[in-house]
Structure 1
Amino acid sequence: MSLLRPALISRAMAVKSLTRPTARLAYTHVRALATVADTVFPANKAAPKPAHSAPYQFDASAPKATPAALKLKSGHVFTGTSFGAQNSSFGEAVFTTSLVGYPESMTDPSYRGQILVFTQPLIGNYGVPSQEKDQFGLLKYFESNKIQCQGIVVNDYATKYSHWTAVESLGEWCAREGIPAISGVDTRAIVHLLRDQGSTLAKLEVGEEVLENKEVVEFPNPNERNLVSEASTKEIYELNPMGDVKIALIDCGVKENILRCLVARGAAVTVFPWNHDFNKDMDQFDGLFISNGPGDPRAAMPTVNNLATAFKNPNPKPIFGICMGNQLMGMAAGLGVYKLQFGNRGHNQPAINMQNGRCSITSQNHGYALEDSVLTPGKGLNGWEKYFVNANDGSNEGIRHLTKPFSSVQFHPEAKGGPQDTEYLFDDFLNLARAEKVKMSSKPFYTTESLIKEVPKPVEVVA
């Protein structure tokens, strides 16, 4: 111990002698290495050794970076360089605080029509995985089969990726799917703007002329479109048909991991388009699931009307909704909706369970919320009460019926990536559906009748 102590003191003095300017210079060198032009390396192979080791040396043969700019409707312009598709796009600029999971976020149908700003500074460092599917035929690493957002905005694009599942770079993926991407902008400043003035319409512009192009453009609002219809399936399909309990799922833009959470628990899931009238078919199913989805829930009024009819059924089947499903169920129950200033998007949103007071950390992605002020303690609306409440802003995070097997949540219990604190809600729903199946199976499905036929008495004829 006595021999070790002088060595420790010597090391401490050496660290203390490191001046602040020297430390800053070392940090600058590291960041310079992370901002070189994009270089693609085959998956699972080491990158070639550089021809030089000086941190500020650049490959003279590397292609020149294409200028890009994020132009907000408010008039603010953020310039950087393009690392995705060489085309421009419009959308609603929103931000996510997620630290991981950019492939899942970008393929989440709830981001349809939006330009996604990442608050995590470094994006792209683990590349993009393959379109591999699991045993249920669902994508293992994505939430849908394509990029759903209109574009992405990052502070520092990682030019070299490293991960055992990666098959291409983030830049390659964006370019292949026609999605513009910009790097080198101050995403902190963008987030401050969006938090102060609210989510705003934007254009992500790519090309040499982005700085000279001063013309005023019309910013189309994606929320004026029926984004639910765009994201929903066009055909009915089944998953895990041999499951022990049958669930009808209304696809408003469902995530792959929601489907996985159901079928992995033994459910047979039939997926219907967003406007399908499920009331005609509910005798064939043990439960109904309303999925997440993008845009303004008021564009999906056919689903709201179908839910209102289902709520009046004297023999109701269990119904559960997530995200958009929460808003549609709330509207069918008589609640209103409103647009949040900047939405809740990320993996760290606290939701308090009003039944037991427990707070769970949840994954969220929504720009609208239910107006639930009429659901005060001890006073509900048509038998409905608050289920979860956001601990940050007090917005609605779920509703439940007092006597019927109906409930919904605004957050994502399936969370991929993100916390799995509330994944038990899938078990709760399927347990209700299985109980419904047992109840229905105990009822006779035939009418008993006597097999002995009475012989009619002969009619006596009086002469």
Structure 2
Amino acid sequence: MIGKLILEDGSVFQGMLASGTKAVGEVVFNTGMTGYQEILTDPSYCGQIVTLTYPLIGNYGVAELFEQARQSFVRGFVISELCGKPSNWQAEDSLVAYLQARNIPCIYGVDTRAITRRIRSHGTMKGIIVPATATESEITELLATPPFLEVVKEVTTPEVYRIPGEGAHVAVLDFGIKRNILNSMAKAGCNITVFPADTPAEEVLAVNPDGIFLSNGPGDPKDAPVNTVRQLIGQRPIFGICLGHQLLALALGGNTYKLKFGHRGSNHPVKDLATGRVYITSQNHGYAIEEQSLAKLDVTVTHRAVNDGTIEGLRHNHLPVFSVQYHPEAAPGPDDSTYMFEEFMKLLSKARGN
């Protein structure tokens, strides 16, 4: 079936639909060469139509091993060339079958790099995926759909759950956490309790954790529970990733702003300012911390993006609190950034008196 991706600025890109489902969301792009299933199931993409810049997608199939959440939360997928016959010893199904079984809107056979150039020039914008037969009134109605702001509520766990371990007890606030993050902490031996995003601070502290982890997640950090994070600071060691990083900055008195087109991909260079070493990182965020808002705060910037100089890491100067904007668990290095979890384990060990 012939379909169209239509951006709110009037740009139209024609292709083929993998399913007949319509989609509406914020159109963004990801520059990774691999990881399409992880992208599809990363809750941080909730509310977005994701364009993949790498031309060939689906060549290694899909497998349960790569799932990052209980379901896909993306609103749509935009691909140049969709491979229908994957070749990979781990493949359990094709990407085409995966998309159709989950009713994920996908348009392929389009010029994804032209779409990316458009977004880079004009910024992220609303877009829709529709069949070519859609009427003007249907298109107008879809483009007028108001944005859904409660994306964290959509992706967070509906109930508290445990991942038992013999080591430090970590309380996780789930704003849309990826499974690989939990796996990284579990491999370190952590005893994990995962809480819904709207859990009050006193309930988190009631389980007497050794430390607190603030997860990644979608949307504007100012729409997330900043006050809860503010109440947790100083109570236990805290480590935040991505949205958790932004929430820490807000809770400490900083400010955030929306990037023109965000950082999304597995090839973003980040410099550790303490060592001078540059790491290749995986990122997925549309907001960043405002530099000037940190001027009078008791924090130190620890990492910066090489491409645009934005803040990629923070550490409180006196409290055991730190965060990074990128995803150390995604391991594009492949293991370059796992030392961030080791840093967290050291803080937890110190807090336990070990």
Shared fold per TM-score greater than 0.5:
yes
1:285 is matched with 209
Task: Choose the corresponding residue for 2:271, options 344, 347, 352.
Answer: 352
Alpha-carbon shift at residue 416 of structure 1 (Å):
5.5
Equivalent in the alignment of 1:320: 239
| Equivalent of residue 340 in structure 2, options 425, 448, 452 | 425
Distance 1:285 1:253 in 2: 20
Shift of the alpha carbon at 1:237?
Answer: 0.2
Find the residue that maps to 2:3 and give its secondary structure. strand
Q: Tell me if the contact between 2:265 and 2:283 (Cα under 8 Å) persists in the aligned partners.
A: yes
Deviation at 1:403, TM superposition (A): 1.1
1:126 maps to 2:60: yes
Q: For residues 314-363 of structure 1, what are the alpha-carbon distances to aligned partners after superposition, in whole Å with 9 as ceiling and x for unaligned?
A: xx421000000001000001111111000000011111122222221110
Q: Which residue of 2 aligns with 1:197?
A: 122
1:101 equivalent in alignment to 2:23 = no
Asked if the contact 1:101/1:417 (under 8 Å) is kept, the reply is: no
Q: CA deviation at 1:305?
A: 1.0
- Give the 3 Å change call, closer, same or farther, for CA 389–419 of structure 1 in structure 2: same
Q: Does 2:173 correspond to 1:250?
A: yes
Structure 1 residues not aligned, in runs of 5+:
1-65, 132-139, 440-463
Residue pair 1:69, 1:78 contacting (<8 A) in 2 also: yes
Conserved 8 A contact 2:150-2:223? yes
CA change 1:70–1:158 in 2 (3 A) is same
> What corresponds to 1:34 in structure 2?
none
2:251 to 293, 314, 332: 332
Q: 1 CA distance for matches of 2:179 and 2:256?
A: 26
Letter in 1 for 2:106: A
Residue equivalent to 1:110: 44
Instruction: Identify the range of structure 1 (423-432 vs 410-419) with the bigger mean alpha-carbon deviation.
Output: 410-419
User: Separation in 2 of the partners of 1:242 and 1:97?
Assistant: 36
Higher relative contact order (CA 8 A, sep 6+): 2
The offset of 1:97, in angstroms, is: 0.3
CA distance in 2 between partners of 1:281 and 1:153 (Å): 39
Aligned AA (1:176): A
1:73 is aligned to 2:16: no
One-letter identity of the residue aligned with 1:361: I
- Offset of residue 172 of structure 1: 1.0
- Give the equivalent residue in structure 2 for 1:341: 260
Letter of the 1:188 counterpart: R
Provide closer, same or farther for how the CA distance between residues 309 and 212 of structure 1 changes in structure 2, counting only shifts above 3 A: closer
CA distance in 2 between partners of 1:255 and 1:104 (Å): 9
Q: CA deviation at 1:278?
A: 3.0
Structure-to-structure mapping, 1:362-401, within 5 angstroms: 362-375=281-294, 380-401=295-316
**Residue aligned with 2:226, SS:** helix
* Matches of 1:154 and 1:215, distance apart in 2: 21
Q: Tell me how far apart the structure 2 counterparts of residues 374 and 328 of structure 1 sit (CA, whole Å).
A: 13
Counterparts of 1:281 and 1:156 in 2: how far apart (Å)?
46
- Unmatched tracts of structure 2, length 5 or more: none
Alpha-carbon distance in structure 1 between the residues aligned to 2:244 and 2:174? 9
Measure, in 2, the Cα distance between the counterparts of 1:369 and 1:99. Answer: 24
Question: Does the CA contact (< 8 Å) of 1:228 and 1:253 recur in 2?
Answer: yes
Normalised by the length of structure 2, the TM-score is 0.95
**Correspondence for 1:309:** 231
Q: Deviations over 1:58-95 (max 9, x none)?
A: xxxxxxxx111101001000001112x22101011000
Taking only aligned residues, the RMSD between alpha carbons, in angstroms, comes to: 1.8
Cα deviation digits, residues 250-306 of structure 1 (max 9, x gap): 000000000000001100110001121234443611100000000111111xx3112
Cα distance in structure 2, aligned partners of 1:228 and 1:263: 23
Compare CA radii of gyration and give the structure with the larger one: 1
Per the TM alignment, residue 101 of structure 1 is displaced from its structure 2 partner at its CA by 0.7
2:193 is matched with which residue: 260, 270, 278? Answer: 270
**Structure 2 Cα separation of the partners of residues 179 and 246 of structure 1:** 37
Query: Contact 2:23/2:76 (CA < 8 Å) preserved in 1?
Result: yes
Q: Sequence identity of aligned pairs in percent?
A: 39
Cα distance between partner residues in 2 of 1:219 and 1:158: 33
CA distance in 2, matches of 1:425, 1:186: 38
Once residues 89 and 265 of structure 1 are traced to their aligned partners in structure 2, the CA distance between those partners, rounded to angstroms, is 40
Opposite residue 385 of structure 1, the aligned amino acid is T
CA–CA separation in structure 2 for the residues paired with 1:437 and 1:325 = 23
Q: Secondary structure at the match of 1:438?
A: coil
* The 10-residue stretch of structure 1 (380-389 or 86-95) with the greater mean CA deviation from structure 2: 380-389
- AA of the residue aligned to 2:230: A
Determine if contact 2:331/2:338 at 8 Å carries over to the other structure. no
Deviation at 1:404, TM superposition (A): 1.0
Shift in CA distance, 213/276, structure 1 to aligned 2, threshold 3 Å: closer
Give the C-alpha shift of residue 220 in structure 1. 2.9
- The CA deviation at 1:386 is 0.9
* Count of residues in Structure 1 that have an aligned counterpart in Structure 2: 352
Residue aligning to 1:184: 109
Deviation at 1:381, TM superposition (A): 3.2
Q: Is the aligned partner of 1:225 residue 2:149?
A: yes
Matching residue of 1:435: 350
Q: Distance in 2 between matches of 1:279 and 1:307?
A: 11
